Structure 1
């Protein structure tokens, strides 16, 4: 059996994924509680995106069991993946219309979702008319419009400037905290500061072994208070996560003559 329904938002139980010509991912055991935010960090090739695809049901495991609670799953990819010919409203309404929601209701709910991410005045904008940050807000609204119980984010802010990234993370916390019930979120990132700030806990994948190397909890409650990035506890957690990540990475080669 490769998949089962669980009480947790999602889980991986002894999950292993084999790849031709390279080390497998796993086995991995992981449980995501309802309403929990989990960051997944690791070197390139560690299997972070594969882990998200497993949780989404987009890829089956070679061994083990992937469990998901009954409910909807939203997925935001590294790029916004918007339909270029459609305006923001139509892009966000699409998953509702595909689920059989009548167009007037789907468009009304899409307008509410876009307003929630700060784009209530850009409903008729085409993707080419949006900045990178705006396009990612549309993608986030599209993922949230179905009120998912599990939200999967695959480095959606990686290509954005630091100021825009911070604003979107604050928006994500705000949207998460105002939902009842709160969705569980699994967030892939290379940025340890982003991982500590955004998540309840961070999981480090080891690219060499294909397993979870360690898991570290972030201090304090979510959402974060203002100026929390200057807090000593935050800085200590960032350094601890950076050190744990460094232990999973090969040392840089020493140049000849150095």
Structure 2
């Protein structure tokens, strides 16, 4: 049964779903229908051109988007959602510990408990020695780790990530993806993850499956399985199956984009 005033409950086998959702925005073709279902513990990557509806899909799953023109959004009863945005969105005047403790305090947790759990979360992302650091004292990768710790501190059932590593260098991005896999694998039960990215290599490495959105309508044009175990073993990027999956996803993404944008 759905909670009063809330979205319908998801199928018991799903953490969240978006089914047949159409959204209308002034000055553009309606977006949709958008469809995605996410099972508990599953990692799904969403790729597509700018304007294809990737971030909109995340906001729908999080309950942050306006009600759809048609279709349905559903989440598992009492499911907790964590969200990591493109920028760390940290409070600049507060230290890392206070930033991570904030969602717990807003939920009513006693301050000592919230700060203890925040310290544990920061230690888990490798920042146990930076609890008192302000955002201006952190590198871009460190700030994103704080944002990830803030999303994980509530023990979410669904973790949504909107291109969180896009502004980082390739080495830092790889390290953060490895850390994300490690944190996901260490949790019981494992959260479902939906990860938005433009990077097909990142998508194949991170996820168990990747879906491609059409640049004009936001509809799913392809869903491809990403082979191999999760978390990925060392050296997996050198495996032939990885390269085949990357090329297949790149081709599907190119087919879903306007010719002019592909040529650019």
The TM-score bracket by the shorter chain reads: over 0.9
Equivalent residue number for residue 18 of structure 2: 12
What secondary structure, in the 3-state scheme, does the structure 2 residue paired with 1:3 have?
A: coil
Verify the 8 A CA contact 2:254 2:262 in the aligned structure 1. Answer: no
Matches of 1:102 and 1:213 in 2, distance apart?
47
The answer as to 2:62 corresponding to 1:56 is: yes
Verify the 8 A CA contact 1:2 1:65 in the aligned structure 2. Answer: no
Instruction: Single out whichever of 231-240 and 52-61 deviates more from structure 2.
Output: 52-61
Matches of 2:210 and 2:143 in 1, distance apart?
27
* Structure 1: runs of 5 or more not aligned: none
Q: How many residues align?
A: 255
Verify the 8 A CA contact 1:12 1:31 in the aligned structure 2. Answer: yes
Instruction: Give the 3 Å change call, closer, same or farther, for CA 163–253 of structure 1 in structure 2.
Output: closer
Residue from 214, 230, 233 that aligns with 2:241? 233
Shift of 1:254: 11
Instruction: Give the 3 Å change call, closer, same or farther, for CA 201–112 of structure 1 in structure 2.
Output: same
1:85-164 correspondence runs (5 A): 85-164=93-172
Verify the 8 A CA contact 1:23 1:210 in the aligned structure 2. Answer: no
Instruction: Single out whichever of 91-100 and 200-209 deviates more from structure 2.
Output: 200-209
Residue from 46, 55, 58 that aligns with 2:52? 46
Equivalent residue number for residue 169 of structure 1: 177
The answer as to 2:76 corresponding to 1:69 is: yes
The answer as to 2:254 corresponding to 1:246 is: yes
Shift of 1:250: 1.4
Verify the 8 A CA contact 2:96 2:146 in the aligned structure 1. Answer: yes
* Structure 2: runs of 5 or more not aligned: none
Equivalent residue number for residue 181 of structure 1: 189
Runs of 4+ residues over 3 Å off in structure 1? none
Equivalent residue number for residue 7 of structure 2: 3
Matches of 2:158 and 2:170 in 1, distance apart?
26
Instruction: Give the 3 Å change call, closer, same or farther, for CA 34–130 of structure 1 in structure 2.
Output: same
Q: Deviations over 1:10-63 (max 9, x none)?
A: 101111111111112211222100000000000111010011000000012221
TM-score after normalising by structure 2: 0.94
Shift of 1:253: 7.9
Residue from 212, 218, 222 that aligns with 2:230? 222
Verify the 8 A CA contact 1:176 1:183 in the aligned structure 2. Answer: yes
Equivalent residue number for residue 26 of structure 1: 32
Matches of 1:253 and 1:44 in 2, distance apart?
10
